[in-house]
Amino acid sequence: MTSGHQTPAAGSGQPGMAGTDAETGQAVMAAWQTLGPLMDLVTPMALRVAATLRLADFMPHDGTGEGAVLADLAERAGAVPEALARMLRHLVQHGVFTEPCPGQFAANQTAALLRTGQPGAVWLDLDGFGGRMDLAFTGLAHTVRTGAPAWEQVFGQPFWAYLDANPAIGASFDATMAVDAGNAPVADGYDWTTVRHVADIGGGTGTLIAQVLRRNPWLRGTLVDLPETAARARHYLAGLRLDGRCEVVGQSFFEPLPVGADAYLLNRVIHDWDDAAASAVLRRCREAAHRTGRVLVVESHGIAGGDPAAFAEMNLRMLVLTGGRERTIDDYSALAAGAGFRVTAVHDITERHVIIECVPV
């Protein structure tokens, strides 16, 4: 195998066509220069392996003039020195890590993002949910050919069943969602003064409802999630001394929900599901909300607003993982109507997300 992405040689056409061949060759080269950054899997996988092995944790920061010796680094990471060196030198050429002297490596500002506790370490770790989520895309052709999620083909079980059967990945999923929760805009982006009791449906480990309760001391809360996640939520809320104000219920949100809350919060839950399942969740909220409750759906703006590129990527991601989808505001309004709600307001909270307020009809 030769190195790099090969490009067709220019000037190999028929005699007398040199000018045309040169122009064609230049066009082909330009096309490959465009495709090259899009088609490279070497660097993204090297980055993920570096995060998985926690290499940045074992290195001094670049600028000290020193680096971690390769043999020591390989021993701490559980890697083969020569293979590790090849990968690190590739990443050095792409601006991740430095080699201040031969055989020693340091973490520059970019590599520091891979240290434990940083978002990069959470999202890129191949042994955790973030890395598994990306590996699901090795089954993208299956999704495109069949319309079915690739997750089951790649990992042998549907998404939610896999998390349930693999507690470590389930816990990593909860942690990843907590890192990416964007809780403050939700907690601050809605007027909670008319609410006395809020139910966070599919509330994960409790990071969102904790912020809502702490900012609004008159509120009581209920969090609903599957039993193992609910157990983590109880521990988290107790650590913040909020357990006295928030009941935690371990169950599926496809089952009848706790009744009587003033507001039922669905924070980026509906996009996980196809229309039939999403409607079922909303109908459960409608049953529990009675005539006076409301549902607050936190989702992306849709194509009509926000970032179209982010919308397109997430729309594909949801299909590959769970069979879910991103939706426009009109789509959510139609789902709400089918479940017995009408949309009364749409509150912009970030460039990407809105709160869609729904009341029973």
| pLDDT tens digits, one per residue of 308-334 | 888 999 999 999 999 999 999 999 999
Tell whether the model's pLDDT for residue 152 goes beyond 60: yes
Provide the residue range defining the domain that includes 231.
181-360
Q: Do residue 93 and residue 137 come from a single domain?
A: no
Question: Considering the domain boundaries, does residue 82 fall inside one?
Answer: yes
Question: Considering the domain boundaries, does residue 9 fall inside one?
Answer: no
Q: Which of 177, 193, 214 is the last residue of a domain?
A: 177
Q: Do residue 186 and residue 294 come from a single domain?
A: yes
The pLDDT, as a whole number, for residue 27 is 83
The pLDDT, as a whole number, for residue 58 is 97
Q: Which of 162, 177, 192 is the last residue of a domain?
A: 177
Predicted confidence band at 8 (pLDDT cuts at 50, 70, 90)? very low
Return the higher-pLDDT residue of 347 and 306.
Answer: 347
Predicted confidence band at 129 (pLDDT cuts at 50, 70, 90)? very high
In whole angstroms, what is the distance from residue 29 CA to residue 110 CA?
A: 30
Among residues 129, 131, 124, 147, which one has the least CA distance to residue 316?
A: 147
The pLDDT, as a whole number, for residue 5 is 46
Read off the pLDDT of each residue in 334-342 and give the average, rounded to a whole number. Answer: 97
The pLDDT, as a whole number, for residue 180 is 62
Tell whether the model's pLDDT for residue 177 goes beyond 60: yes
The pLDDT, as a whole number, for residue 28 is 81
Q: What are phi and psi of 7, to 5 degrees?
A: -120, 145
Q: Which of 271, 290, 301, 353 is an active site residue?
A: 271
Predicted confidence band at 21 (pLDDT cuts at 50, 70, 90)? confident
Among residues 252, 256, 289, which one has the least CA distance to residue 269?
A: 252
Question: Considering the domain boundaries, does residue 311 fall inside one?
Answer: yes
Q: Do residue 116 and residue 209 come from a single domain?
A: no
Q: Which amino acid is at 67?
A: G
Q: Mind listing the pLDDT tens digit for each residue in 214-227?
A: 999 999 999 999 99
Tell whether the model's pLDDT for residue 15 goes beyond 50: no
Question: Considering the domain boundaries, does residue 91 fall inside one?
Answer: yes
Burial of 106 (0-12, 13-18, 19+ CB in 10 A): buried
Q: Do residue 86 and residue 206 come from a single domain?
A: no
Q: Do residue 214 and residue 280 come from a single domain?
A: yes
Q: Do residue 280 and residue 330 come from a single domain?
A: yes
The three state secondary structure string of the chain is CCCCCCCCCCCCCCCCCHHHHHHHHHHHHHHHHHHHHHHCCHHHHHHHHHHHCCHHHHCCECCCCCCEEHHHHHHHHCCCHHHHHHHHHHHHHCCCCEEEECCEEEECCCHHHHCCCCHHHHHHCCCCHHHHHHHHHHHHHHHHHHCCCHHHHHHCCCHHHHHHHCHHHHHHHHHHHHHCCCHHHHHHCCCHHHCCEEEEECCCCCHHHHHHHHHCCCCEEEEEECHHHHHHHHHHHHHCCCCCCEEEEECCCCCCCCCCCCEEEEECCHHHCCHHHHHHHHHHHHHHHCCCCEEEEEEECCCCCCCHHHHHHHHHHHHHHCCCCCCCHHHHHHHHHHCCEEEEEEEECCCCEEEEEEEEC
Q: What is the CATH number of the domain that holds 65?
A: 1.10.10.10
Q: What is the CATH number of the domain that holds 165?
A: 1.10.287.1350
The alpha carbons of the chain give a radius of gyration, in whole angstroms, of: 25
Q: Which of 120, 150, 166 is the last residue of a domain?
A: 120
Q: Do residue 241 and residue 111 come from a single domain?
A: no
Read off the pLDDT of each residue in 22-26 and give the average, rounded to a whole number. Answer: 81
The yes-or-no answer on residue 271 being catalytic is: yes
Q: What is the CATH number of the domain that holds 226?
A: 3.40.50.150
Q: Do residue 231 and residue 196 come from a single domain?
A: yes
Q: Mind listing the pLDDT tens digit for each residue in 259-270?
A: 999 999 999 999
Read off the pLDDT of each residue in 82-94 and give the average, rounded to a whole number. Answer: 97
CB < 8 Å & 24+ apart, contacts of 343-349: 344/294, 347/189, 347/190, 348/189, 348/301, 348/305, 349/185, 349/186, 349/188, 349/189, 349/190, 349/298
Read off the pLDDT of each residue in 26-45 and give the average, rounded to a whole number. Answer: 85
Question: Considering the domain boundaries, does residue 348 fall inside one?
Answer: yes
Q: Do residue 98 and residue 206 come from a single domain?
A: no
CB < 8 Å & 24+ apart, contacts of 39-48: 39/5, 40/5, 42/90, 43/90, 43/91, 43/94, 44/134, 46/87, 46/90, 46/91, 47/91, 47/96, 47/114, 47/124, 48/124, 48/125, 48/126, 48/131, 48/134
Question: Considering the domain boundaries, does residue 19 fall inside one?
Answer: no
In whole angstroms, what is the distance from residue 110 CA to residue 124 CA?
A: 14
- The count of structural domains within the chain is 3
pTM of the model: 0.84
Question: Considering the domain boundaries, does residue 1 fall inside one?
Answer: no
Q: Do residue 248 and residue 325 come from a single domain?
A: yes
Q: What are phi and psi of 360, to 5 degrees?
A: -65, 150
Predicted confidence band at 25 (pLDDT cuts at 50, 70, 90)? confident
Return the higher-pLDDT residue of 290 and 85.
Answer: 85
Question: Considering the domain boundaries, does residue 79 fall inside one?
Answer: yes
Q: Do residue 77 and residue 115 come from a single domain?
A: yes
Q: Do residue 133 and residue 62 come from a single domain?
A: no
